[in-house]
Amino acid sequence: MGVSFEPRKQGFFVEIDRKTNRTKTTHFNPFLTMATIVRIVVTEPGIANNRQLFEDFIAESKQLLTENKKHQFVLLPAGFLTFFSNDLTHIPLSEPQEQTEKQKWFAEIEILKEQALEEFYRSFDSKMLQELKSVAHYFVIGIDSGGKRLQFVLVYDLQNEMPLHWTGKTFPQKKEKDFVIQMPIDTHFIKEKIDGKRIAVFGCHDLSIFNPRHQKHFSPFEDERKNAKRKDDTETGKIKCPFIDATLDFSPDIMLQLPHTESTWAAKWTTLNKWLHRKKGKELQHFATGLQRCPKKQYSLSGTQRGDVMNFANGKWIDVKQNNKERRKMK
């Protein structure tokens, strides 16, 4: 009997008998193979506080993965590590327009990347990185400067043992806009496709450009806007439309977001997907928010992930539906 398999769905797969054209739905354990994105869910930052969690994750992944298979992205939250640098107040908060000043600015940022990478290697020694290499292709982690003036995101290529991509926060919170160094918009989009997929990476708060409360002024679509003309900035100058436009134009297939804390990100993901569908006729295939959870207040895991995403916390794989039941009991 000829049988084919449709792509796996949440909690079941569908077998199709090509001779009879009948389908059979079979429930399955969703933790049987590699994942596109694995979130290691933490409650506090730093490798010293989470070394056992990483050791458990590696051991459980080795049991889970079939031969030669690896997770694609292992995701942590923003500010998981902190590097200490000299005073940064002399560095402009955004990329200068004048060419000489722009070159100086990028040179300063490169030096800070080197300092952040040194902290990364201090925290994750060669033995730990080799163990992670055995179960994953890429490691995505937030590394802040002391005082959070600069908030890097590093995409580390575990197989080639080197950084693949750097970005950081571009859209600061109101209280941060006078001291946080903002990374250029184009750094959020990895130029080379990974397994044929376009990858976008957002820092803390960046996803808030898709806050549905702003769409009456800054939607890319005129029928959603109350004011006749779409401006480049809000009345307060906090939101710049080019970030929205660049994200939609890039048309990512996979998107990773690294906030510092858990929050109400679900509505922003919904708006992003809605606008992406209207402009490009597609939605994100996979997305996830890196999580540092507050034990006293937890949001739905399902609202911050889509597609092939697995969650690892407290030394075990987390069932999203069961987690949501436990979260409702806490209220």
Can you give the pLDDT at residue 237?
40
For residue 33, report the phi and psi dihedrals to the nearest 5 degrees. Answer: -150, -175
Q: Model-level pTM greater than 0.95?
A: no
- Mark the ranges of the chain whose per-residue pLDDT is less than 50: 1-19, 23-32, 233-240, 327-328, 330-331
Can you give the pLDDT at residue 20?
57
Domain definitions of the chain by residue range = 1-30, 31-325
CATH domain 31-325 topology: Nitrilase/N-carbamoyl-D-aminoacid amidohydrolase (3.60.110)
Report the alpha-carbon distance of residue 311 to residue 288 in Å, rounded: 10
Can you give the pLDDT at residue 4?
28
Mean residue pLDDT across the chain: 84
**Chain segment 201-233, per-residue pLDDT in tens:** 999 999 998 988 766 666 777 777 765 555 554
| C-alpha distance from residue 118 to each of 82, 106, 179 (Å) | 11, 19, 24
- Count Cβ atoms within 10 A of the Cβ of residue 225 and give its class: 0-12 exposed, 13-18 middle, 19 or more buried: middle
Report the alpha-carbon distance of residue 292 to residue 263 in Å, rounded: 10
243, 182 in Cβ contact below 8 A?
A: no
Can you give the pLDDT at residue 232?
52
Can you give the pLDDT at residue 68?
84
